[in-house]
């Protein structure tokens, strides 16, 4: 397992280009299952999770070529011949469960392993499965696998989600694209990644209306076709660099950012003292000269404050002037980074689902460990802010969702060294 040596940074300077969105690219790759043909995807980031989804699709019979330099991926689904996603693959990435909807609706059956536990919460798939049942699929769970089947076709209907789950909305939207008749998803997730997936599906010939709104309408079609598609930039990576400026200070140019995808994050950054100037449609300059102020935050489904930005804000607010409160309402166990931030000298306590962050003057280096992707990103930021040399273990979590994070920070004048390891850190 690789680790990072992170050196104190006085301020960031330079420019960074945001990569393609991991959470858009994953379901978009799965959408290729819906049609036989050759897809050309663009802006696919070179990340561990993307390679895992590539393996899942290859296991199902797809032929895939990916170029990490050009970010282009060719997926040929003409030889898809399996409908099972095995435990060995699904357990390494929960998001592989989004192959269930496409497999079921195209081939009439699917067998997908239950993903198992996760560092940030239990994350069951009950909302996905209820949605398929609402479309008249038969579901049973046996020996750790979800077995889903249909008579001939899924039958369109009304699906009311108990919670606007991102994965469930994606899975059901893809399944309904080839169902018979009209489906309505009520209380649908509204994240930009849902809109991106719907745009890709519509390009393939689907009839999806109102993605990005609370109620999505899908008229099933008989067939979909392979297309070319470019995924949106990663809003969470962009938010992470913005937060880095809030924490470390300096002035950076961020390219390939869609500000409208980060409404509350940007509002909060402005409120605490980060300056953001729009240079052109997708380019901004972010800077911070004075000390940041405390604020209160509650994570919520989009357009609320993204849970995927919570850990980075905890790191940033640990040195703000005053006391901040951050309530996590989306996942039940997403505070694993807090004990590590406290190892760096932060003063954060947890009361139920709320982190109480008493701003300290500065952080100081220590040995710390990443427990999940966003926790890992938060610790990179905190390590850069801390006096001294921080050692961060288990950076493989960060590699799941950030492309070359150490190189991108190097271009901003920071110094992070990756120590490649052949042995295992326990």
Interface residues with ligand EPZ (CB under 6 A) are 23, 26, 94-95, 121-128, 163, 165-168, 189, 193, 307-308, 330-331, 373-374, 401
Find out whether 365 and 344 touch, Cβ atoms under 8 Å: yes
Min. distance of Cβ 23 from ligand EPZ in angstroms? 3
| Between 243 and 287, CB nearer to ligand EPZ | 243
Min. distance of Cβ 301 from ligand EPZ in angstroms? 7
Active-site residue list: 118
| Between 219 and 264, CB nearer to ligand EPZ | 264
Token readout for 168 is: 């469930």
Exposure pattern of 121-153 as b/e (b: 16+ CB <10 Å)? eebebebbbbbbebbebebeeeeebbebbbeeb
| Between 307 and 324, CB nearer to ligand EPZ | 307
Find out whether 128 and 165 touch, Cβ atoms under 8 Å: yes
Name the residue number minimizing CB distance to ligand EPZ.
167
| Between 116 and 124, CB nearer to ligand EPZ | 124
State how far the alpha carbon of 19 is from the alpha carbons of 25, 121, 123, 344, in Å: 11, 27, 27, 29
| Between 36 and 147, CB nearer to ligand EPZ | 147
Instruction: For residue 210, report the phi and psi dihedrals to the nearest 5 degrees.
Output: 70, 25
Find out whether 317 and 341 touch, Cβ atoms under 8 Å: no
Min. distance of Cβ 7 from ligand EPZ in angstroms? 26
Min. distance of Cβ 218 from ligand EPZ in angstroms? 18
State how far the alpha carbon of 328 is from the alpha carbons of 199, 297, 321, 335, 343, in Å: 30, 9, 21, 8, 21
Min. distance of Cβ 303 from ligand EPZ in angstroms? 12
CA-to-CA distance for 23 and 167, rounded, in angstroms? 10
Min. distance of Cβ 281 from ligand EPZ in angstroms? 25
Strands (E), 236-366: 250-255, 275-280, 283-288, 296-298, 323-327, 347-351, 354-358
| Between 4 and 302, CB nearer to ligand EPZ | 302
> What's the start-to-end Cα distance of the chain, in Å?
9
Q: Cis ω on the peptide bond leading into residue 303 (within 30° of 0)?
A: yes
């Amino acid at each position: 397992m690789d680790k990072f040596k992170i050196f104190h940074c006085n301020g960031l300077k330079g420019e960074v280009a945001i990569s393609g969105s991991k959470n858009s690219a994953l379901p978009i790759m799965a959408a290729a299952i819906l049609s036989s043909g050759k897809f050309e995807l663009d802006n696919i980031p070179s990340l561990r999770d993307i390679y895992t989804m590539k393996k899942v699709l290859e296991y199902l019979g797809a032929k895939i070529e990916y170029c990490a330099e050009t970010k282009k991926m060719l997926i040929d689904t003409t030889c898809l011949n399996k409908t099972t996603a095995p435990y060995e693959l699904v357990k390494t990435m929960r998001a592989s469960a989004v192959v269930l909807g496409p497999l079921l609706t195209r081939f009439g059956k699917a067998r997908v392993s239950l993903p198992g536990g996760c560092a940030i919460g239990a994350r069951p798939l009950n909302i996905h499965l209820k949605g398929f049942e609402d479309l008249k699929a038969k579901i049973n769970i046996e020996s750790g696998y979800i077995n889903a089947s249909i008579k001939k076709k899924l039958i369109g209907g009304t699906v009311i989600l108990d919670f606007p789950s991102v994965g469930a909305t994606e899975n059901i939207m893809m399944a309904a694209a080839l169902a018979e008749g009209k489906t309505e998803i009520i209380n649908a997730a509204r994240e930009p990644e849902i809109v991106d997936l719907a745009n890709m599906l519509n390009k393939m010939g689907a009839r999806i209306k109102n993605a990005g709104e609370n109620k999505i309408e899908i008229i099933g079609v008989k067939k979909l076709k392979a297309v070319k598609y470019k995924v949106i930039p990663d809003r969470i990576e962009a938010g992470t660099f913005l937060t880095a400026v809030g924490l470390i200070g300096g002035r950076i140019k961020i390219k390939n950012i869609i500000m409208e995808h980060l409404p509350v994050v940007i509002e909060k950054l402005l409120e605490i003292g980060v300056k953001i100037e729009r240079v052109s449609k997708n380019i901004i300059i972010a800077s911070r000269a004075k000390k940041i102020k405390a604020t209160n935050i509650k994570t919520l489904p989009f357009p609320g404050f993204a849970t995927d930005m919570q850990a980075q804000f905890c790191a940033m607010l640990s040195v703000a002037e005053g006391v901040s409160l951050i309530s996590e309402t989306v996942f039940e166990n997403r505070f694993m980074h807090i004990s590590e931030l406290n190892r760096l000298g932060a003063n954060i306590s947890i009361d139920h689902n709320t982190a109480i962050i008493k701003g300290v003057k500065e952080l100081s280096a220590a040995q710390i460990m990443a427990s999940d992707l966003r926790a890992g990103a938060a610790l990179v930021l905190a390590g850069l802010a801390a006096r001294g040399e921080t050692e961060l273990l288990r950076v493989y979590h960060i590699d799941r969702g950030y492309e070359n994070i150490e190189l991108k920070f190097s271009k901003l004048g920071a110094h992070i060294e990756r120590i490649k390891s052949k042995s295992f850190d326990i």
